[in-house]
């Protein structure tokens, strides 16, 4: 069924009422989820009407309905993309066999772990973003962060459904754990590093949704290839929602760049690298934008895991987690004798070396991610051309500022050269945001909630949400 049943407590298109055990488990989990949402969701905005989209179907067209909703009343639910008839496993040692509709016993632990890791990122980002409403640069932006938040909440539902339906008691315990860990908590942190970083300001939010949600896209794309069909279907639907999150990030940064360029031009400032002059105009200076890219891109690359990984090889072999666009890749989809180039530290320098392709699955996914980020950079750099400002942003080298994998034990500059610890300490504030930079950004964060108005440091968007006019009241604060 492609329409979603909204007559029940839990909206779904998985015929939930036919599985009494599962329905009970989800209904028992729901109030705990709401407690978490009320404690850790957008702080101070739970009682207001927000113009949100809610999925009403899972077809590629016309799946969402827009309307005012108070966030705790959002209709979270269980949505899977339609089943593809006669789908076959597309890679690994079971290639060509029919996909599984139940968890294969031998891969139970592997699938559960993938669901828990994916699931953990979803509430984590809501926790990271919970104070942003207080400093929203416009009602448009405020609505967008809330939209992202309720959908990340639903992505948690998606993974909890997998755990509750297919993993019995263990799954139930994991579902509870997903509500108990907290981003940045000393004792019970979220599982992955980037999801324990702070998102204290809107520049960070837009960078996070550009880079870290894009990691989410890559992970979901590779899980969408899964031979375990329910996992594939749930991830395919999550991807349709993820697109908007990355849009919010990419256009957010684009609007910051646009505003800074306008301010420089209007004031006759010809050196785009002049931090003090840009800051005197109350906009985000371009060197700081570059440093924010360096930071968020590098912590996000860590999410891809070790460059060479037997875990990744095992889940590929098993047919559980594939590659980005697996079906479009022209090879045997088993990688028995293929090799793949992986950057490593060899003789004191970063060099690329061919390794068995099966062990390089993580690197390959990171490469696809990097390619995607390059196209984002092109769009951001286009603003400089349009505005006639002599500046370019770029991605740092993949080995820069890494805490996971091949490069975690060494210091590497944004160009990919090894540097000494001394040099790193000397230059790190040129490469990564300094406390001063972060404080400056925070000083710009003042709430602007008059309909159609925007904070001084960001340009208005090209178009409204769902075709709404410029002064549309996206959040009703009274
Ligand atoms: Fe998500
Ligand atoms: Fe997302």
Task: Please tell me the number of the ligand nearest to residue 205's CA.
Answer: 2
Count of Cβ atoms closer than 10 Å to residue 275 Cβ = 15
CA distance 52 to 66: 5
Query: pLDDT of 191-231, one tens digit each?
Result: 999 999 999 999 999 999 999 999 999 999 999 999 999 99
> Which of the 8 DSSP states describes residue 374?
H
Instruction: Give me ligand 1 centre to Cα 332, in Å.
Output: 31
Instruction: Give me ligand 1 centre to Cα 267, in Å.
Output: 41
Task: Please tell me the number of the ligand nearest to residue 121's CA.
Answer: 1
Query: How many angstroms separate the first and last alpha carbons of the chain?
Result: 39
Q: Does pLDDT of 18 surpass 70?
A: yes
CA distance 38 to 13: 26
> What's this model's pTM, rounded to 2 decimal places?
0.97
Instruction: Give me ligand 1 centre to Cα 263, in Å.
Output: 35
Residue 55, pLDDT score: 83
Instruction: Give me ligand 2 centre to Cα 266, in Å.
Output: 36
Instruction: Give me ligand 1 centre to Cα 121, in Å.
Output: 7
Instruction: Give me ligand 2 centre to Cα 263, in Å.
Output: 31
Residue 59, pLDDT score: 72
**For the residues 462-477, what does the mean pLDDT come to?**
96
Query: pLDDT of 250-288, one tens digit each?
Result: 999 999 999 999 999 999 999 999 999 999 999 999 999
Task: Please tell me the number of the ligand nearest to residue 245's CA.
Answer: 2
Instruction: Give me ligand 2 centre to Cα 245, in Å.
Output: 5
CA distance 380 to 377: 5
Query: pLDDT of 425-442, one tens digit each?
Result: 999 999 999 999 999 999
Instruction: Give me ligand 1 centre to Cα 389, in Å.
Output: 35
pLDDT band at 62 (very low <50, low <70, confident <90, very high): low
Instruction: Give me ligand 1 centre to Cα 30, in Å.
Output: 18
**For the residues 333-346, what does the mean pLDDT come to?**
96
Residue 478, pLDDT score: 82
Residue of 341, 340, 339, 346 whose CA lies nearest to 407: 346
Instruction: Give me ligand 1 centre to Cα 124, in Å.
Output: 10
What domains are there in the chain, each with its CATH number? 88-138+185-461 (1.10.620.20)
Residue 107's φ and ψ, nearest 5 degrees, are: -110, 10
Query: pLDDT of 83-102, one tens digit each?
Result: 999 999 999 999 999 999 99
Instruction: Give me ligand 1 centre to Cα 41, in Å.
Output: 15
Task: Please tell me the number of the ligand nearest to residue 214's CA.
Answer: 2
Instruction: Give me ligand 1 centre to Cα 227, in Å.
Output: 21
Query: pLDDT of 364-416, one tens digit each?
Result: 999 999 999 999 999 999 999 999 999 999 999 999 999 999 999 999 999 99
Q: Does pLDDT of 74 surpass 90?
A: yes
Task: Please tell me the number of the ligand nearest to residue 210's CA.
Answer: 2
**For the residues 154-181, what does the mean pLDDT come to?**
96
Instruction: Give me ligand 1 centre to Cα 153, in Å.
Output: 8
CA distance 335 to 333: 6
Strand-pairing partners, residue 340, are 355
Instruction: Give me ligand 1 centre to Cα 436, in Å.
Output: 31
Q: 């945001």: which residue's tokens?
A: 433
Instruction: Give me ligand 1 centre to Cα 111, in Å.
Output: 18
Q: Does pLDDT of 1 surpass 60?
A: no
Q: Does pLDDT of 116 surpass 70?
A: yes
Instruction: Give me ligand 2 centre to Cα 264, in Å.
Output: 33
Instruction: Give me ligand 2 centre to Cα 241, in Å.
Output: 7
Instruction: Give me ligand 2 centre to Cα 124, in Å.
Output: 11
CA distance 156 to 25: 15
Instruction: Give me ligand 1 centre to Cα 86, in Å.
Output: 28
Instruction: Give me ligand 2 centre to Cα 390, in Å.
Output: 33
> Which of the 8 DSSP states describes residue 225?
T
Mean pLDDT of the chain: 96
Instruction: Give me ligand 1 centre to Cα 216, in Å.
Output: 6
Instruction: Give me ligand 2 centre to Cα 285, in Å.
Output: 27
pLDDT band at 5 (very low <50, low <70, confident <90, very high): confident
> Which of the 8 DSSP states describes residue 209?
I
Residue 61, pLDDT score: 61
DSSP-assigned letters across all residues of 31-94: HHHHHHHHHHSSTT-TTSEEEEEEE-B-SSSS-EEEEEEEGGG----B--PPPPTT-B--SSTT
Instruction: Give me ligand 2 centre to Cα 209, in Å.
Output: 7
What's the count of helices (H) and strands (E) in the chain, helices before strands? 13, 7
Task: Please tell me the number of the ligand nearest to residue 238's CA.
Answer: 1
pLDDT band at 333 (very low <50, low <70, confident <90, very high): very high
Task: Please tell me the number of the ligand nearest to residue 243's CA.
Answer: 2
Residue 63, pLDDT score: 76
CA distance 296 to 324: 22
Residue 57, pLDDT score: 77
8 Å CB contact between 355 and 340: yes
Instruction: Give me ligand 2 centre to Cα 346, in Å.
Output: 36
Task: Please tell me the number of the ligand nearest to residue 220's CA.
Answer: 1
């Amino acid at each position: 069924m492609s329409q979603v049943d909204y007559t029940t407590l839990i909206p779904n298109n998985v015929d939930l009422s036919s599985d009494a055990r599962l329905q009970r488990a989800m209904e028992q989990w729901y109030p705990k989820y709401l407690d978490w949402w009320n404690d850790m969701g957008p702080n101070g905005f739970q009682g207001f009407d927000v113009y949100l989209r809610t999925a009403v179907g899972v077809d590629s067209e016309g799946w969402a309905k827009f309307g005012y909703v108070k966030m705790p009343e959002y209709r979270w639910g269980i949505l899977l993309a339609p089943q593809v008839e006669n789908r076959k496993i597309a890679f690994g040692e079971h290639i060509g066999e029919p996909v599984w509709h139940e968890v294969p016993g031998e891969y139970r632990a592997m699938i559960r772990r993938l669901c828990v890791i994916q699931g953990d990122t979803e509430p984590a980002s809501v926790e990271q973003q919970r104070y942003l409403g207080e400093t929203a640069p416009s009602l448009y932006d405020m609505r967008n962060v809330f939209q992202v938040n309720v959908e990340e909440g639903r992505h948690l539902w998606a993974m909890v459904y997998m755990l509750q339906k297919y993993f019995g008691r263990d799954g139930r315990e994991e579902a509870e754990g997903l509500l108990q860990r907290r981003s940045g908590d000393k004792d019970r942190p979220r599982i992955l590093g980037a999801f324990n970083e702070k998102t204290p300001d809107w520049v960070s939010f837009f960078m996070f949704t550009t880079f870290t949600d894009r990691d989410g896209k890559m992970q979901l794309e590779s899980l969408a290839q899964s031979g375990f069909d329910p996992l594939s279907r749930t991830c395919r639907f999550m991807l349709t929602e993820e697109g908007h999150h990355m849009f919010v990030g990419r256009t957010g940064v684009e609007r910051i760049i646009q505003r800074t360029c306008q301010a420089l031009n209007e004031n006759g400032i010809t050196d785009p690298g002049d931090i003090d002059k840009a800051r005197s105009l109350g906009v985000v200076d371009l060197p700081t934008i570059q440093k924010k890219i360096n930071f968020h891109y590098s912590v996000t690359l860590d999410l891809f895991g070790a460059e060479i990984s037997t875990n990744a090889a095992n889940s590929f072999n098993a047919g559980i987690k594939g590659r980005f666009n697996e079906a479009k890749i022209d090879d045997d989809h088993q990688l028995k004798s293929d090799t793949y180039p992986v950057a490593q530290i060899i003789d004191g320098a970063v060099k690329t070396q061919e390794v068995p392709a099966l062990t390089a699955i993580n690197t390959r996914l990171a490469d696809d991610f990097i390619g995607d980020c390059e196209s984002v950079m092109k769009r951001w750099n286009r603003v400089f051309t349009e505005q006639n400002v002599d500046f370019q942003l770029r991605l740092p080298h993949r080995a820069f500022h890494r805490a996971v994998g091949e490069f975690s034990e060494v210091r590497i500059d944004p160009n990919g050269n090894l540097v000494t610890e001394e040099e790193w300490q000397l230059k790190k504030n040129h490469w990564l945001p300094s406390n001063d930079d972060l404080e400056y950004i925070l000083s710009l964060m003042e709430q602007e909630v008059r309909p159609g108005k925007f904070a001084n440091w960001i340009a208005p968007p090209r178009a409204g949400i769902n075709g709404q006019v410029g002064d549309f009241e996206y959040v009703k604060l009274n």
